[in-house]
Amino acid sequence: MATTLITGGTVISSTGRAQADVLIDGEQVAALLAPGTTAFGVDNLQAAVDKVIDATGKYVIPGGIDPHTHMQMPFGGTEACDTFETGTRAAAWGGTTTIIDFAIQRYGEKVMDGLAQWHEWADGNCAIDYGFHQIIGGIDDDSLAVMKELPDEGVTSFKLFMAYPGVFYSDDAQILKAMQVGAETGMMTMMHAENGPVIDVLAQQLADEGKLAPYYHGIARVWQMEEEATHRAIMLADVTKAPLYVVHVSAKQAVAQIAAARSRGQNVFGETCPQYLYLSLEEQLGAPGFEGAKWVCSTPLRARAEDHQNQLWRGLRTNELSLVSTDHCPFCFKGQKEMGKDDFRAIPNGIGSVEHRVDLLYQGVVEGRITLERWVELVSTTAARMFGLYGKKGVIAPGADADIVVYDPNGHTSIGLEKTHHMNMDHSAWEGFEIDGHVDTVLSRGAVLIENDQYVGAKGHGQFLKRGLSSYLM
């Protein structure tokens, strides 16, 4: 078994920072050592190990965990253009060493068939480790019964949609029943909280008025219907005593609903995404011509003038919001986004960011919005705790998987299609973003994936992760 020593860096965890060398034995972390320690009876550890990684002046952090991705998802009349192979490789480039993707069941389909399909797509193709949540897009007696078997499969969370009528939508009665299964089993209910039926009427009315540009996607998906659905989901969770995780929160009013539920003692958690922290209705969705299609996603980008972004950052700092995922769901501009050239309702919803999340969140440290420790918590540790991976993932400690990123705070990353882009897309939603900081070296279970700006990982290295129940539940 190969041994590696990461020397001279500052190890950052969710609870603190320390100068320490990290000794890796095979796939796991063996020890954190005070610099210069002679350990295990060996005077010169550096000479004794197979590989030394010099992290002097750099941060050593647990590998990023992105708990919300949609690799090759069939959606919007097409499919997301990153496969498990290309998407997980791009994730590795950006310092993410674990993803949790969404298997899908729809009306008339068997839950376990959906899960088996996603296993088939991912197995042998991933650069990094991966788990699954299960989308239940068709709640009936059969799916409600079978859902109870998901934890045995290592799938301990399911996602419901209050949006997308006729696609994934569940009504309140269905949600109530599914949440009762969540309460009974301890599985986390994940919720896309937007009132889909109302949004669809508003979208139709805009279309009838000839308002068909991408910008109107954001106008139809009013924040009131995110706040309303978030409140309704929280109330249904309260009635059923189910733990609730609200995905891709973009409206400050939804943050307030989550904060109120948390202060009442409910097990309610909120996630946001980089696009809601940095991009806006006015600048991106409102870009000239059809350009705005690149940023059509749901929930939508919100108006900068309404101050959602500062409130999301505040929520991340104060733990009203628990973590940051990407909702990575990329579509090419040519041929895919273009499907909605004449009508925003036909633009496939989704943005690709899996490669940039760790870097983008680090800008919160640079700008003084969050601490280094909170950065690590938001991009790695909380996701591990939330979704039953903690100990193995989300921490650099003896016995944990050696999923480690050496991050250079003095490095620089220019995001752009011609520069640092490894996602399988023909554009970047983050074109022109300049990042203070750089992902230098990435290890997954002791294997180096990224080094010297080269990908040296392998398709099929990534393994399926059977997850336990959330660490946050009482």
297 contacts which partner out of Zn ion, ligand DUC, none, CB within 5 to 8 A by kind? ligand DUC
Alpha-carbon dihedral sign for residues 382, 383, 384, 387: positive
**The only residue of 58, 70, 308, 392 in contact with ligand DUC, by rule CB under 6 A:** 70
C-beta of residue 240 within 8 angstroms of C-beta of residue 179: yes
What is the smallest separation between the CB atom of 12 and ligand DUC, expressed in angstroms? 31
Letters for 5-44 (x = contact with ligand DUC by CB under 6 A, - = none) are ----------------------------------------
350 contacts which partner out of ligand DUC, Zn ion, none, CB within 5 to 8 A by kind? ligand DUC
Q: Give the number of residues in contact with ligand DUC, rule: CB under 6 A.
A: 9
Q: Quick one: tokens of 144?
A: 């409600």
What is the smallest separation between the CB atom of 466 and Zn ion, expressed in angstroms? 22
| Closest to Zn ion by CB, 68 or 337 | 68
330 contacts which partner out of Zn ion, ligand DUC, none, CB within 5 to 8 A by kind? none
C-beta of residue 297 within 8 angstroms of C-beta of residue 325: no
Which residues on neighbouring strands pair with residue 123, listed in sequence order?
none
CB nearest Zn ion: which residue? 192
CA distances from 202 to 75, 185, 209, 225, 279 (A): 21, 37, 11, 11, 23
94 binds ligand DUC (CB under 6 A): no
192 binds Zn ion (CB under 5 A): yes
88 binds ligand DUC (CB under 6 A): no
47: CB partners within 8 A, 6+ apart:
none
298 binds ligand DUC (CB under 6 A): yes
**The only residue of 349, 381, 441, 470 in contact with ligand DUC, by rule CB under 6 A:** 349
Which residue stretch of 73-81, 82-90, 320-328, 445-453 sits at the interface with Zn ion (rule: CB under 5 A)? 320-328
**Helix, coil or strand: residue 448:** strand
What is the smallest separation between the CB atom of 276 and Zn ion, expressed in angstroms? 12
| CB < 8 Å & 24+ apart, contacts of 414-419 | 415/356, 415/359
Give the span between the Cα atoms of 227 and 223, in whole angstroms: 6
Which residue stretch of 33-41, 325-333, 379-387, 424-432 sits at the interface with Zn ion (rule: CB under 5 A)? 325-333
| Closest to ligand DUC by CB, 75 or 121 | 75
| Closest to ligand DUC by CB, 13 or 326 | 326
192 binds ligand DUC (CB under 6 A): yes
Which run of H or E residues covers position 189?
strand 188-192
- CA nearest neighbour of 221 among 239, 238, 201, 236: 201
Question: For 349, which DSSP code?
Answer: P
230 binds ligand DUC (CB under 6 A): no
Question: For 369, which DSSP code?
Answer: S
**Sheet arrangement for strand 64-69:** 64-69, 96-106, 129-137, 157-161, 188-192, 244-246, 268-272, 323-324
| Closest to ligand DUC by CB, 153 or 327 | 327
C-beta of residue 245 within 8 angstroms of C-beta of residue 386: yes
349 contacts which partner out of ligand DUC, Zn ion, none, CB within 5 to 8 A by kind? ligand DUC
Query: Is residue 86 classed exposed, middle or buried when 0-12, 13-18 and 19+ CB atoms within 10 A define those classes?
Result: buried
221 binds Zn ion (CB under 5 A): no
What is the smallest separation between the CB atom of 221 and ligand DUC, expressed in angstroms? 10
70: CB partners within 8 A, 6+ apart:
80, 101, 102, 327, 328, 329, 350
**The only residue of 297, 347, 384, 402 in contact with ligand DUC, by rule CB under 6 A:** 297
What is the smallest separation between the CB atom of 69 and Zn ion, expressed in angstroms? 8
What is the smallest separation between the CB atom of 331 and ligand DUC, expressed in angstroms? 9
Which residues on neighbouring strands pair with residue 74, listed in sequence order?
79
Q: Give the number of residues in contact with Zn ion, rule: CB under 5 A.
A: 2
Give the span between the Cα atoms of 125 and 47, in whole angstroms: 35
| Closest to ligand DUC by CB, 276 or 375 | 276
C-beta of residue 473 within 8 angstroms of C-beta of residue 267: yes
What is the smallest separation between the CB atom of 398 and ligand DUC, expressed in angstroms? 38
445 contacts which partner out of Zn ion, ligand DUC, none, CB within 5 to 8 A by kind? none
69 binds ligand DUC (CB under 6 A): no
101 binds Zn ion (CB under 5 A): no
Asked whether the bond before 240 is cis by omega within 30 degrees of 0, the reply is no
Give the span between the Cα atoms of 80 and 83, in whole angstroms: 8
| Closest to ligand DUC by CB, 223 or 375 | 223
What is the smallest separation between the CB atom of 56 and Zn ion, expressed in angstroms? 39
| Closest to ligand DUC by CB, 129 or 226 | 226
Give residues in contact with Zn ion (CB under 5 A): 192, 327
Q: Could you list the residues that contact ligand DUC (CB under 6 A)?
A: 70, 75, 192, 297-298, 327, 329, 349-350
